[in-house]
Copies of this chain bind each other. A is one copy, B any other.
Amino acid sequence: MSVSLRKARTIIRKTLENGHEMELKPLSVVVLDAGGHVIAFEREDGAAPGRFAIAHGKAYGSVMLGMAGTAQMQRAEAQAYFMAAVNGAYGGQVVPVPGGVLLRDRKGAVIGAVGVTGDTSDNDAAAALAGIEAAGLTGEI
């Protein structure tokens, strides 16, 4: 099972709708496939210009390590030099905080990840999770 463009669009639309309901700041949302490659991205009007790199970094680390943003943050807090080294190995493209959410199929296999940025990391993750569930998928924050 893979994430289709249609599914990715739904995740993004529902995540943004959720951000509006939660009255969050303008969000940016990326959906990556099982190889960590971009399927779709949207940045809301009013978001800072550099948000693609942050959204991407949250999702990319999730896929590449098979570890969602919360777990990455815990590892970074326990052993900062390890996550710094991992980041070096991944070309500096990992942003290890909540808002990077793993997508899994029914058997638990990772099929991609969602990255959300714009509000607090916890709110970013909550909006992503709601968007993923509205699209009929299971997220791991």
Residues in chain A within 8 A of chain B (CB atoms): 4-5, 8-9, 33-50, 52-54, 56-57, 63-67, 76-77, 79-97, 109-110
- Copies of the protein in its oligomer: 4
The answer to whether A94 and B87 have CB atoms under 8 Å apart is no
Question: Which single member of B38, B67, B94 contacts A85 (CB below 8 Å)?
Answer: B94
Interface core residue of A35, A65, A79 (most chain B CB under 10 Å):
A35
Q: Could you say which residues of chain B place their CB within 8 Å of the CB of A5? A: 42-45
For A41, give the chain B residue with the smallest CB separation: B41
Shortest CB-to-CB span from A41 to chain B, Å, is: 4
Question: Which single member of B37, B45, B109 contacts A50 (CB below 8 Å)?
Answer: B37
Question: Which single member of B40, B42, B88 contacts A94 (CB below 8 Å)?
Answer: B88
- 12 pairs across A/B with beta carbons < 8 Å? A34-B49, A35-B36, A36-B37, A37-B43, A48-B64, A48-B65, A48-B110, A49-B64, A54-B86, A82-B95, A85-B87, A86-B95
